[in-house]
Amino acid sequence: MKTFFVLAISFVLVGIFFCPMVMAGPSFMPADLQIVQPDPSLPKELSVFFGKWAGASNVEFFIIVEKIDKEKASLYVWRSITGEASGPSWMRYEAQVIKEGRKYKLQFRSRFSSVELALKGETLDYRGSDSVFEPSTQLKRVQ
């Protein structure tokens, strides 16, 4: 009986502490999402930005780079805080492609600050100029 009680309490505590983190992400994709594969002639260092990314610091982020070319990228960003009473939501942005030497980065202006996306190995480095709403975050590619 004591073992059952300890297991039951453990199960409840795990549910309380971990389920909100799993359920915190976006529950739907944007209705007008249009995934367009990068042109095969696009440099690999640039085409690797394409796809879905997720990560968290004090803010949870999901990014979808839905289209990219040599000059710009169309992307959706979802963050777990928005500064609005309506709660988290998807926002569409157009980012400028910047080439520095052999490396690329994407820059855009969100509602909160200037944002820079740069690849570092297998992660997407998200850096905003406002550390509250746009904290630096490492994102991993997701399916």
75: domain CATH number is 2.40.128
Tokens representing residue 84 in the block: 């609005």
User: How confident is the prediction for the chain on average, in pLDDT?
Assistant: 81
Place of tokens 């992307």: 75
Q: What is the pLDDT of residue 132?
A: 63
Give φ, ψ of 87 to 5 degrees: 90, -175
Number of domains in the chain: 1
Q: 81-137: per-residue pLDDT in tens?
A: 755 555 678 999 999 999 999 899 999 998 878 999 999 999 999 998 876 666 789
**DSSP track, 58-74:** SSEEEEEEEEE-SSEEE
Considering the domain boundaries, does residue 112 fall inside one? yes
Considering the domain boundaries, does residue 90 fall inside one? yes
Q: 7-60: per-residue pLDDT in tens?
A: 444 443 333 334 333 435 677 788 889 999 999 999 999 999 999 999 998 888
Rg (the chain; Cα; Å): 18
Question: Range of 97's domain?
Answer: 44-142
pTM, rounded to two decimals:
0.75
Report which secondary-structure segment, H or E, holds 16: helix 2-23
